[in-house]
Amino acid sequence: MSDPTFWRVGDEPGRRQFVTLDHGGRGVDLEGGGHLASVTIAYETWGELDARASNAVLVLHALTGDSHVAGPAGPGHPTPGWWDGLVGPGRALDTDRYFVVCPNVLGGCQGTTGPSSLAPDDRPYGSRFPVVTIRDQVAVETALADHLGVARFAAVVGGSMGAMRALEWALGYPERVARAVVLAAGAAGTADQIALCSLQVRAIQADPYYAGGDYYGGPPPRGGLAIARGIGQFSYRTWTEFEERFGREPQDDRAVLDGGRYAIESYLRYQGEKLAARFDANSYVVLSEAMNHHDVGRGRGGVVAALKRVRVPLTVGGIASDRLYPRELQEELARLVARAGPVRLITSPAGHDGFLIELDQVGAIITEALAV
């Protein structure tokens, strides 16, 4: 049976809007040498664009996020908005003041062109989908801004993979960004991060149903994706949280020496299966590799030289307990970017996921940045 859970053309769109770009028939060239005949972007908006088109804020999601940053679950949206408490009247991203835009990322599986999308031959791209980078994703987002009539964003805000894109906006399109908020990311993928992503990719590719990436129309590689997500979930959280929540407790009354499971094992299995029920494995591979390729210094003389050229005001936030993107990476950004100021630290037992969980602290950081 094919996998019906990620969004496809013909499904209920929910709040999504769409624009298709082909640059006058030239298509979209990618940094790694690949090419797409056209790109469809799914996006959602909140609030109204003012007469001068000066109040737009671009919000950029992380690896398994989507355009649904705010709003309830419902038709077209299997989960509530991932930053629902931050977007709306009187909130940090005040929709009485700002026109908030959130696109689904290039390579994703929630309406924007990705591996599950139909190629010009009306078959899913699958293994034929080209390598995309963070810079490619940002280039597509600039085309969306053109479509919306936004020459310059009042702010670009993102966490994790979204923060990588926010940083690339500041470097690649400084004339189009008044300020950027970068949460829980660094200037380049580290060996540690690349190692974890590569293990997740290998888990997916080892699934017997993966079929080299051409599994559409048949059983999806849910088992491999679930394992990949379990590895990721382990890195997103902390030793302290796991000890306090789970310790060595069994999941139920069945002894672990008699075929039972530890509670932490059950938790990681649940997180993996939940993600596998709503996400495309190929998109997980493509986006994980895009994060591995993240390097603001590529072609710019190295990380130090690149960051020293940033002139956009940068608000840098990190999570004190983050073991995947540790504080040192945010300190580097703050040290080398002239208009960054000190790192704003989020206190959380949840590690990297703190940027999704600690909404009061994240909201305070965003409010401070927008007040400048």
Return the active site residues. Answer: 160, 322, 352
User: Chain centroid to CA 33: how far?
Assistant: 23
Residue pair 53/125 in contact (Cβ under 8 Å)? The answer is no
Task: Look at phi and psi of residue 202 and say left if phi exceeds 0, alpha if psi is from -120 to 50, else beta.
Answer: alpha
Tokens at 85, concatenated = 């408490």
Tokens at 160, concatenated = 């994790």
* φ/ψ (deg, to 5) at 153: -80, 140
Report the 10 Å Cβ neighbour count for 280.
Answer: 29
In this structure, the strands spanning 314-319 and 344-346 are parallel
Task: Look at phi and psi of residue 48 and say left if phi exceeds 0, alpha if psi is from -120 to 50, else beta.
Answer: beta
Tokens at 1, concatenated = 């049976």
